[in-house]
Every structure is written in C-alpha cells, then in structure tokens.
Structure 1
Amino acid sequence: MLITRKIIRESMKFGIVPREWGYFVEESVEQCILAKRVGFSSIWIEEHHGNEYYLPSPLPTLAGLSQHVPGMMIGTSIAILPLYHPVRFASDGAILDQLSGGRFIAGVGAGYREHELKLFGIPMSERAGRMDESLIIIAKLWEGEVVNFKGKYYSLENFRLTPLPIQKPRPQIWVGGWVKQAIERAARLGDAWFPGPSGTISFIEENLEFYKECLEKYGKKFNGFPIMRDAYVAVSDDIAVREAEESINYMYGIDYAKTEHPLLKGKQLNIDEWITDRLLIGSPLTIIEQIDRLRKMGVNHLILRLSLRK
C-alpha cells in the first residue's frame, strides 16, 4: 500500500472541486486552504445555470479563490464555451491568468443541458460549430496573434488581445465531451481530453484509444490526460456507500438523468456499477486501488468532487 501511494503521488497531480452551492464562500475557501495544506495542487469550478448545486460564474469565482491559495493551479471544469463570445472568454481568462500569477487552466465543453443554452439564445445545433471557432480564436488571441477570422458565428478583424496571459505560449486548454466528435475536437484543438465524472472508467478506456488515434492523426503525442471523479472516503467500503448513497441517488438518479446528457439521459441507477466503475467510493485502501487503475490508464491529473450534494 505504501509503495502504491508513493508511486501515485509521484506520477499524478490532484485537484479539488470545493463546495459550490448556497452561501459557499467561507466553506469553499476553508476547503481550498486545507486542500493545499494536504498536498492538492489545483482548484476547479464548474458551470451550470439555474441549478442550486452549481455556480454560474466560474472565472470570477476562481479569481477570488486564487488569492487564498498561492501556488495552486486554478481551472474551469468545465466552462460552457458556446455561452461566451470567444473574445470575452479570452479576455477574462487572460486577466484571471494575470491575477493568479500564471496558474489558469481552461477546461471547456459544449454543454449538454438544453435549457442553459436556450437561456442564452444558443440552439443545441450550434454547439459544435461555436466550439470549434471559439477554440481556434482563443488560442490565437492568448498567443498574442493579430487575429483575422471570419467564421459562421464569429468574426474578428485585425484584433490583438491585451493584456496577454502570463503563461507562454498560453494557458492550457482542456476539452471535455463524450461523443466521438468531442473527443476528436479535444485532440485537434485542445491540449488534453478532459472526461468528466459521469462516464464509466470502462467507457473512458474504450474511447482513450480513439483519442490516441486522433492525436497521432494531428501529429501530437499522448502525454497522459486529466479526469474528474466524484469521491467519498470512509473507514470501510460499506460505510462509505451507505453515507454517500443519498447524494449518488440525487446526482445520478435524478439530476443527470433528467438532462440531455449523452451517457445518462433516462438511465436507471445501478448502484453496484456506479461504485465499481464510475465513482471513487470506499475505504482508503479501496480508493488507492481505484486511483492506481486510473494512473495505469494514463491519468496524470485527478480532479475530485468531495462535497456531497443532498
């Protein structure tokens, strides 16, 4: 067990998603400070709108949290990119990178909850096109180029972003998504494929080969990938499952299942599958074994949601 723990700590980085609901600020700050003290290296904030368990504004939230934990990376997990004009996201991201001293990672995705896109006047059918155009524009702007771009959704003429991010050539861009088109996009336009917590490990293993093939197609090397998981640790496996079951039932049996999520829409909850192939739940030894499985897959940055939603 000690050997495995040492190997894991030397080969993987760990991030945390702090509490994101209610009057969250004080508790989230305390969680982030504790996370840094015990060895976590990054903080992540999600984006959803009209849901009491998520925050709608990840970038300003990260700007605030970053001031309490100098040295920790900060990232969006994920920002719903079609909801932003690419110049707006690039500008806010550059300022966030400056405020944090060059610690920003942009985790982005197309979104899957139709009501959120509708709220901003974006048809579901436009997500992919807006994602592609935005990713191209944002990368060029962050790298300091004078951008001339004419697309279906966005147009820029002789525009150069100022101020630029601190990181060179730019902050990393991690691209989420579950369908083949999204995984190909991650290889083509991103720095990493960023699977979220909702897909099974088996599904990720199967699609990892496709991601590697896409990387090779675009002349890129596979250097590992980040992943996000829900996790809960207790003194024994049985106690962990019993204490986390209510939260699991809500998140996966109610919240995700009623959305347009490509993997979970209308899916019945099978608790045995969820605790063995999707979530990290159990005793410390069980969790270490589960994390080691991820390490062997090539996971180099593990982001954990540790706050139960009820």
Structure 2
Amino acid sequence: MEFGFLLGDQPLSTPPEEHLDLLLRNVEAGQRAGFTHFTIGQHFLYSDFRWLQPIPILARLAAEIDDHVRIGTTVLVGPLQHPVQLAEDLATLDIITGGKLIVGLGTGYLEREYAAFDKPYSKRYGMLEEQIEILTALWTQDRVTFDGQFWQLDDVTTHVHPIQKPRPPIWLGAMKKVGVRRAARSGDVWTITPQQTVDEVAQLVQIYVEERRARGLPLNPFPLRRELQVADSYDDALRDFAAVARGKYVSYASQGMGLLDQERVEREFLANVADHVLLGTGAQVCDQIAAIADRIPIGPLLIRPHWPGMDAEQSARYLERVGREVVAPLKDLRAVGFDALVA
C-alpha cells in the first residue's frame, strides 16, 4: 500500500512565506515518513483560508522530491481554465517533474468561482468532459482540430508535450453516481472523496467498474482520500481530530460542500464525521485500512497532514507518528483485485 497526502490551506493570518515554508517542510517530513504521493487542491477567491495555486507550487516542490515520489493536483477546477493554457502549463510541469505528474481534475462546488470567471456553473460537467478531450489531443497530437460547444481549435500546432506517454494519468474527482460514471468514461481513475462512508464508496465503485468494463477500458486502483488521526486510544483520536478539524469542516459546509450538513457539522461534529474518518491507535487504524482494502481496490491512500492553524512542527510530529505506526506496518498490504468484484 502506498500513502500520500494533501497539501492544503492556511488561515489568511498566516504570512504567505510561512505558508510556503510549511508546505516545503511537510514534503520533507513526509518523505522521511515513507509517503510517496504529494498533492494539492485548488480554489479561487476563497474566504477565510489561503489556497496557494497548484501549478507553481508543484513546480517548486518538484525540486524537493525523491525519484520514486509523485506529485499532482487533487483537484484542479478544470472548467474555469482554458484548455490550451492548462494543457501547456501541465505539460511543462510534467517536464519539470521528470514525468512524475498526476493530473487531478474536477468541477469544484463553489458557484461564485464560476461567476468570477464568467463561466456557466450549470454547464460545468459538459465543459469538463470537453476539456479532457482537448487536453488529451494537445498532449498526444502534433496538430489539433476541435469543434465543441465550449471551445474550438482550427488545425493548431502543438509545441509542449508531456514526458509521460501518451499523457500523464488523469484522476477525476466525483461525489455522486453521475460524476463517477463521468470519471469512468473520461479519466483513468476516480478520486474518492473523504466524506463518504465505505459502504457508499463500495456502491459507487461497482458503478464505476461496470461503466469501465462496458467500454472495454482498463481498471486501475482508486486513490482514496481519508482523514486520519492516530492517538493512544480511539477516544483520544476522536478528541484530537475534533480539535484540529472542526473549524475546517464548518467552513466546508458553510461554503456549500454538498456531502456535509452545515447544522449537523456545527452542533454534532463528531457524529457527522466518525463514520468516515480513520481514528484510533496505530493498530486500530491499520485494521480499518486493511478492512477497506479488503473491499475496494485502493491505492494510494491520501490523508491530510495538517489542518489550518497547525504549524510545521505539529505536522512533522503527526507525519512521523503516522509513518511509524501506519505507513511502515502496511507497506506490504495489497488491496483486493478487481477480479473479486462483481462483473
């Protein structure tokens, strides 16, 4: 089993240079702890917290990673960006990383971001599918013609191609059945969000697998996002998680993340998260991950090493403990294969 983590946001009160230093130190500590995937998400004009933009940040982090480590976006808000610029930026980033880039794309969930870019929020899913077609063409062809609903290209010459052939892997974010089917059609894998229970995920995995098999497309393990807290006991882990994560969950819910109920998050935080967060002692968390891997073909498992307000020392201690008590013990764990799933 491989492990990775999400490089995230910080309160606006954190100086930007301190925010960058935190990300760099997280990557350093993560590599020492055995993590092999480092990813970052994207928001625009966000409130309360600062998200540094993924492509320039990953270009900087590329100088810090070991040869066996991969970096990527989970996820870029694809429809807000013109596919030509996005294709060339990402191809350049793949070159900078030496062919270690993973391209995670999604539609996001904040309507105000679309308004700021003068993009139709109601058309975001169609825009994403069209964008992926254009990205693939620009990365794999010398000349491209495309006549779509949202973008048109007339026999244009391409000049920046990624190192990875035919292209970097595309991870597509999705939360519901329609989105999972879209991920099966258009990407290489579905990136599983952390707010869904294992039972919910298992049902969506079946939908994904059926769609891929119907189209004769290969099946690859699912990157699974999960929040994780290790402590000396389950109750301690639950308490520690609430202390660092409650504020961010409230922010997610208040800004419109559909999988979270704002009132319940604010009044009953622990009841709203305990069914989808990995919590307990190192041994208990290992057992929880093994149980998921026995049902779902996962890999890598992506966690969050810090929450807004934590400093670099806190994150480093967290990563060291998770590396010692979870990553190292599970290095030989193999998830269930697709042949074990219902055809």
Normalising by structure 1, we get a TM-score of: 0.90
8 Å contact 2:8–2:40 — kept in the other structure?
Answer: no
2:37 alignment counterpart? 42
Q: Which segments of 5 or more consecutive residues in structure 2 lack a partner in the other structure?
A: 310-343
- Where 2:114 maps in the other structure, the secondary structure is helix
The answer as to whether partners of 2:139 and 2:160 remain within 8 angstroms in 1 is no
1: CA distance between counterparts of 2:222 and 2:292? 10
Q: CA deviation at 1:183?
A: 0.9
Find the counterpart in structure 2 of residue 26 from structure 1: 21
- Give, as a single letter, the amino acid of the residue that structure 1 aligns with 2:135: I
Residue equivalent to 1:60: 56
1:67 aligns to what SS in structure 2?
Answer: helix
Give the deviation of 1:265 after TM superposition.
4.8
- Give the percent of matched residue pairs that are identical in Structure 1 and Structure 2: 31
Cα root mean square deviation, aligned: 1.7
- Alignment partner of 1:109 is 2:106: yes
Q: Which string of whole-angstrom CA distances, capped at 9 and with x for unpartnered residues, describes residues 239-265 of structure 1? A: 11112213332222x112223333225
Higher relative contact order (CA 8 A, sep 6+): 2
Which shifted more, 64-73 or 166-175? 64-73
Offset of residue 178 of structure 1: 1.2
Answer whether contact 1:83 1:117 (CA < 8 A) is retained.
yes
Find the aligned partners of 1:98 and 1:221 in 2 and give their Cα distance.
26
Q: Which residue of 1 aligns with 2:123?
A: 126
Q: Please give the alpha-carbon distance, in whole angstroms, between the structure 1 residues aligned to 2:139 and 2:257.
A: 31
Amino acid at match of 2:199: S
Letter in 2 for 1:75: G
Instruction: Summarize deviations over 1:52-86 as a string: whole Å, max 9, x none.
Output: 44515111111111111132201101100011111
Long gaps (5+) in structure 1: 1-11
Counterpart position of 1:91? 88
2:206 to 198, 209, 213: 209
Query: Residue 46 of structure 1 contacts residue 54 of structure 1 at CA under 8 Å; is this kept in 2?
Result: no
Is 1:233–2:261 an aligned residue pair?
A: no
Change (3 A) 1:265 1:155: farther
Does residue 97 of structure 2 align to residue 100 of structure 1? yes
* Alpha-carbon distance in 2 for matches of 1:30, 1:132: 36
Q: C-alpha distance in 2, partners of 1:303/1:97?
A: 21
**Contact 1:20–1:28, Cα closer than 8 Å, also in 2:** no
Instruction: Report if aligned partners of 1:142, 1:171 keep a CA contact under 8 Å in 2.
Output: no
| Alignment of structure 1 residues 175-194 onto 2, 5 Å | 175-194=172-191
In the aligned structure 2, how far is the partner of 1:25 from the partner of 1:272?
A: 34
Count how many residue pairs are aligned between Structure 1 and Structure 2: 297
* Aligned counterpart, 2:66: 70
For 1:283, the equivalent position in structure 2 comes to 281
Q: Per the alignment, in what secondary structure is the counterpart of residue 284 of structure 2? A: helix
Q: Deviations over 1:6-53 (max 9, x none)?
A: xxxxxx221122353233111211110121122111110111121444
Distance in 1, Cα, partners of 2:201 & 2:36: 24
Equivalent position SS for 2:226? strand
CA distances 1:279-308 after superposition (whole Å, capped 9, x unpaired) = 122211121112112322111211111212
